[in-house]
Structure 1
Amino acid sequence: MSRALLLAAFVAVPLLFGCATTSSASSTATSPAPFAVKRSGKGQPVLFIPGLASSGEVWDETVAKLQGEYDCHVFTLAGFAGQPSVPSPFMPTMRRALAEYIRSQGLKKPIVVGHSLGGVLALGLAADAPDLVGGVFIVDSVPFLPALLYPGATAESSKPFADQFRVQARMQTVEQRNASSRQVLQIYISDEARREVAARWGADSDPETVTQAVYEMSITDLRPELSRITAPTQVLGSWIALQGRVPREAVEANYRGQYQNLPTVRLAMHDTARHFIMWDDPQGFLATLESFLKTTAASASMESQR
């Protein structure tokens, strides 16, 4: 089961622009920033949150196409891809910091795009502060990680296995961690060169932060919180990595079941891309995202005129 939790984490898991400047969320001299941010473009603000052990560079191609029309904010979270780590708990800290960032930057109803772990954070942010978020775009992520492979799982039933996973993960050597990462990335990214990029990010990530993030996702069930989300939400899921183990219909049914408490959700399953959909099908991904951005902006404009 601990191995399954690790694999499930990557199922729901893993832009630096020369013209952009690097900024960090506010921090004290003794407290590292919760994330680094790259900002570029003008227009409707869009926040991009990467997944487990990933850099914000995962959004490079997407943002390069969007920054002409949108104000893009690309995050690299603390402890991932070379960023300094922050004390645990990880997920609640990130949720609070994201809301604080939106307020401090004066962003008006940004669209939040989250991949994997970033999708979980996007959902948590939209549930914590529904008045701050104008839309949510989820890339291959669900509100309760263990139920992705074990539909009957609960936070209580998952905790012993999450505890076991955390103990075993902390005992791994560097070589074992890197080998496990590469094994998982081979399943969830099609292109070999991109797998190497993601593997480097993983090697540069703080192992305790990665372990703690997976642990917290494994014992935190956001499904009851979804009803607080008022923003339009698009979920783009992938099932190819589970082909041969779980039928497509079962994967889609699982996704729909996990999001049943979110009345604003629209769900689509991608039939060819693996977990890193923005890498496996950049054109198709961009078309889906752009459609959501334009539809959401139009709806917001109509609402403001009422």
Structure 2
Amino acid sequence: MISTVQLVGQNSFKVEVYGEGEPLLLFPGFSSTADVYQEIVTNFSKDYQVHAFTFAGFGDVAPIQSAWLETIKKDVEIYITKKKLKNISILGHSMGGTLGLWLASDQDVYKKLILIDALPAMGALMFPNYDSESIQYDSPYNQQLLEMSEADFETMANQMAINLSLDPEGQKRIVEDMLRSDRKTYVYGYTDLLKLDLRQKLANIKVPVYILAANLPYGKEVATINYKNQYQNLSDYKLHFAENSKHFIMYDQPVWLIDQIKMALNTNE
């Protein structure tokens, strides 16, 4: 299945490297680990050098101090430079896709981006009259999350997982990842993500972007409007929807997802 596995990393992440070929960087979503990409690693490490990331505070990777998401971004750029990676494609789910957009909006060193249900400004979807400056790290909600008992946190995780995947086994894996997360990373790292607004910076991205989106829970019509609003400053992107799928498309529609990734990687646009 896999030719070689090499574990490398900065302080803010761990990377598992599989196979040989052009580099394909796999960024998981918030609180997920590289395990979320198991089937994708199996399928693509035959033709690509796959770099599967797990970020600090999640899985078995130790947490780091604040400026979590910004530190990850800078460390990924250092990693790419140190490894002398060229012709890089990024595959990112949710927050991992947002990170991919951030990287590509700052440096023109990437070949293409493949985003799984990811937005440039997640906070703008969640809050009416969104203003990134108004979102605070020291908030009553964050304090409540920090003080929440393990039992209450598990109850919350189970409720969230139902909204994130239709697949019972997928829901179980989502909960397991959430329960393994460092609590401060979970609280303040998510605040980092909510504060990040890349909508204007999308104009800097010159490479093809493929967005693989879920049609649930909003329905395809509403989801299309949300995506078009958020990506209006991006000049070149293609949007495809997974039918009957929630946010974790890799759990709900794994065959469709792998087929779409193959098409995106093989398209010379």
TM-score w.r.t. structure 2 length? 0.93
> Is the aligned partner of 1:148 residue 2:132?
no
Preserved contact between residue 206 and residue 236 of structure 2 (Cα < 8 Å)? yes
Task: State the Cα deviation string for residues 200-238 of structure 1 (Å, max 9, x = none).
Answer: 121111011011121111122111111111221111111
Counterpart of 1:88 in structure 2 is 66
> Is the aligned partner of 1:137 residue 2:96?
no
CA–CA separation in structure 1 for the residues paired with 2:2 and 2:263? 27
Preserved contact between residue 82 and residue 201 of structure 1 (Cα < 8 Å)? no
The secondary structure found in structure 2 opposite 1:223 is coil
* Alignment equivalent of 1:117, drawn from 74, 95, 99: 95
Preserved contact between residue 2 and residue 18 of structure 2 (Cα < 8 Å)? no
Task: State the Cα deviation string for residues 97-118 of structure 1 (Å, max 9, x = none).
Answer: 1111111111102100110111
Q: % of aligned pairs identical?
A: 27
The secondary structure found in structure 1 opposite 2:26 is strand
Counterpart of 1:266 in structure 2 is 238
* Alignment equivalent of 1:235, drawn from 185, 201, 211: 211
Number of matched residues? 269
Counterpart of 1:3 in structure 2 is none
Counterpart of 1:5 in structure 2 is none
CA–CA separation in structure 2 for the residues paired with 1:90 and 1:161? 12
Alignment of 1:187-226 (within 5 A): 187-226=163-202
What residue ranges of structure 1 are gaps of 5+ in the alignment? 1-16, 27-32, 300-306
> Is the aligned partner of 1:278 residue 2:250?
yes
Structure 2 vs 1, CA of residues 135 and 18 (structure 1 numbering), >3 Å: closer, same or farther?
A: closer
CA–CA separation in structure 2 for the residues paired with 1:165 and 1:224? 28
RMSD across aligned positions (CA): 1.9
Task: For residue 150 of structure 1, report the CA deviation from its aligned partner.
Answer: 4.0
Counterpart of 2:227 in structure 1 is 255
TM-score w.r.t. structure 1 length? 0.83
CA–CA separation in structure 2 for the residues paired with 1:118 and 1:85? 17
What residue ranges of structure 2 are gaps of 5+ in the alignment? none
The secondary structure found in structure 2 opposite 1:134 is strand
Preserved contact between residue 145 and residue 218 of structure 1 (Cα < 8 Å)? yes
* Alignment equivalent of 1:74, drawn from 45, 48, 52: 52
